[in-house]
Chain A
Amino acid sequence: MPAIELADVAVARDGRTVWSGANVDIERGEFVAVLGPNAAGKSTLIELLLGLLSPSAGTVSVLGAAPGTHGSEIGYVPQRHAFDQTPRIRGTDVVRLGLDGTRFGLPLPWRDGHRAQVQEAIELVGATEYAGRAIGECSGGEQQRLLIARALISSPQLLLLDEPLDSLDLPNQSSVSALVDRIRRERDVTVLLVAHDVNPLLPYLDRVIYVAGGRVLAGPPAQVITNETLTALYRTPIEVLRTSDGRLVVVGLPEAPAHHADRHAHP
C-alpha cells in the first residue's frame, strides 16, 4: 500500500483552481521534496493531505485512507517564519503538545508516563540543551528542531514538513536535512518536505514533486529536474546546471529563486 496516492486531483481555493490533474504515488519510507515557485500551491498540497482542504476533483488516499482521518499517524510542521509572537512557553511543553495537546482534561502528574517520551523525542533531534528555554528565545534552527520533535513524538508514519529549512542559514539547512533523513531511516517514516532549494536535500531524496503553473509533476529527481521536464512544466525555457560539487542550479525561472519577499502573501 503506497503512503500517498493522488489520482487526477484538482484543488480550488475561493473558487479559483490552484492546480489540477495531479497524479502522484509515494511509496512508504520515501523522502520526497515538494518544490516550485511561491504561491504555486505547495502548502495547499500539504493541507489537502491533512484533510484541512477537500479536493475539487479526483481521489486522495493517505496511508490507505481518506485524508483527515489519521490523527497521530501524521506528524505536521506548518510553514512559519518563527515564533515571532514569542510565547513564553518552554520547548519541552511545545514538544509535549504533540503527544497530549488534543486531549481534554487535566494532566495528572502522578499518571505522567509522557516525560520519557518527550525526552526521547528531544534527544532524537538533538535539542536537549535548549529545550528548557522559552521557544521564542530559541534560534530559527533550534525552533525547527523542536517542532520536528513535536511532530515525531506520536510516532507518525508520515511526516509533512512545510518549509522547515526556510529562514535557516546554510549549515543549519544541511544539518536539518540530514536529521530528517536519519529520522526517516530510524523510524521508517515517509517524509514530504516543502522546500525552495533542492540542494540541501539532494543527497537524500527518492522523489520530487514539482508544483508549478497549475500542474503537479512527480518523479525521481534525476528525471524531473531536467531542462526538458521543467521547461515543459513552466512553459518557459529552463536550464538546469550542475556545478562541480554536484549542486543543481535552475536557471530561467520566471521568478528568481532567491527572491522570497512575497512568500507569505499567500497562505
Chain B
Amino acid sequence: MSFFAYPFMVHALEAGTIVAVMAAVTGWFVVLRRQTFAGHALSVMSFPGASGAALAGLPLPLGYFAACGIAAAAIAAGSRTDNRRNLAQESAVIGAVQVTGFALGFLFLSLYGGILENLENLLFGSFLGITATQVDVLAGVAVCALAFFAVVGRPLLFSSIDDLVARAGGVPVRALEIAFLLVLGLAVASTAQITGVLLVFALLVAPAAAAQQLTSSIAGGIGLSVAIGLLVTWTGLLLSYYTDYSVGFYVTTLAFAVYLAARLFRRLVRS
C-alpha cells in the first residue's frame, strides 16, 4: 500500500519537512555560536513542560513551549559577566538549568500520579498521530523562526563572531542573544515532537555541524544544512514506515552517519 494513502503519513511528512528546515537553519547558528549544549538543555525542557502540562490539564505543546521559553530566558540571564559572553559560566548555568528541568519533570510526573501517556514517544519521538492542526502550528512556528533569521541574520552573525565589535557598531547584542535563545527554544520544542526530546540533536545539530565541516560559505552552509536535514528526515520516515522501528532512531542514526562522513571527507580533502 502506498505511503501517501495514509493521512497520518502525509501529516508526518509535512511536519517532518517543516521541522527539518527550521531545525537546520536554527542549528547552523547554534553550531556557529557554540551553543549546542544550550540546545540540548532546551530540548530536555520538553519533559518538565509536558509533565507539567499533564498535571495542570493543559495541552502538551503549550507545556513544551512554556518550559523552553522559561529555560531560554534563564540561560540568557545567567550567562554573561562584564557584559560579555562568558562561555565557562554559560555552560555551568545551562547544566544547572537542565538538571533542574529534569528534576521538575520527575516531580510533576509523580504528582500527576498516572502514567504519562506516550512517555516513550515524548522521549524518542513518533510520527504517528500528528494531526493537521499540529502541522499548522508547526508551520506557524517555522515561519516565525525563519522570519526572525531573515530579519536579524546579519547582526546575529556579527555578534556571534565578534561580540565586542558588533556592540561597538551599535548592534543590540544582548537583546539578540535572548531573542535567539527564545527562538531556539521554539524550534527545539517543535522538533522534539517529531524526534522526541532526547533526539532533537539529530535534526538541530548534526546537519549544521556536517554542513560547516563541508563549506565555510554562509549561504552554502545554511543551504547544505537544510538539504541534509530534509534528506535525513524523509529517509528516516520511510524506513520507519516500512520497518516499524522508531523514527527517532532512524533520523538520529542517519544524521550521525552524515556528520561522520562529512568529518571523514574533510580530513581526506585536507590531507
Contact with A101, one of B82, B157, B215 (Cβ below 8 angstroms): B157
A51 to B152, CA, bound (A): 23
Measured between C-beta atoms, what is the minimum distance from B56 to chain A in Å? Answer: 38
Q: Is A249 an interface residue (CB 8 A)?
A: no
- Interchain CB contact under 8 A, A102 and B167: no
- Interchain CB contact under 8 A, B150 and A101: no
A150 to B162, CA, bound (A): 11
Q: Is A82 an interface residue (CB 8 A)?
A: no
Q: Is B7 an interface residue (CB 8 A)?
A: no
A77 to B32, CA, bound (A): 20
Counting contact residues on chain A (CB < 8 A from B), the size range is 20 to 34
A48 to B157, CA, bound (A): 25
- Interchain CB contact under 8 A, A89 and B32: yes
A134 contacts across to B, CB distance below 8 A: 216
Q: Is A107 an interface residue (CB 8 A)?
A: yes
A267 to B217, CA, bound (A): 31
A21 to B147, CA, bound (A): 50
- Interchain CB contact under 8 A, A101 and B167: no
- Interchain CB contact under 8 A, A89 and B161: yes
B70 contacts across to A, CB distance below 8 A: none
- Chain B residues 140-187 with CB under 8 Å of chain A are 150-155, 157-158, 160-162, 164-171
Contact with B154, one of A51, A78, A85, A107 (Cβ below 8 angstroms): A107
- Interchain CB contact under 8 A, B154 and A89: no
Q: A72-B169, A87-B161 are in contact. Are A101 and B155 (CB under 8 A)?
A: yes
Q: Which residue of B lies closest to A150 (CB)?
A: B165
A76 to B152, CA, bound (A): 22
Other A-B pairs beyond A93-B218, A97-B154, A100-B154, 15, CB < 8 Å: A52-B164, A78-B164, A89-B157, A89-B161, A89-B218, A90-B217, A97-B157, A101-B171, A102-B154, A102-B169, A102-B170, A104-B155, A105-B154, A150-B165, A267-B84
Query: What would 6 A/B residue contacts be, using CB atoms closer than 8 Å?
Result: A52-B83, A71-B169, A72-B169, A76-B168, A97-B162, A101-B166
Q: Ordered nearest first, which 3 A-B pairs have the shortest CB separation? A: A101-B158, A134-B216, A88-B212
B-contacting residues of A (Cβ < 8 Å)? 50-52, 71-72, 74, 76-78, 85, 87-90, 93-94, 97, 100-107, 133-134, 150, 267
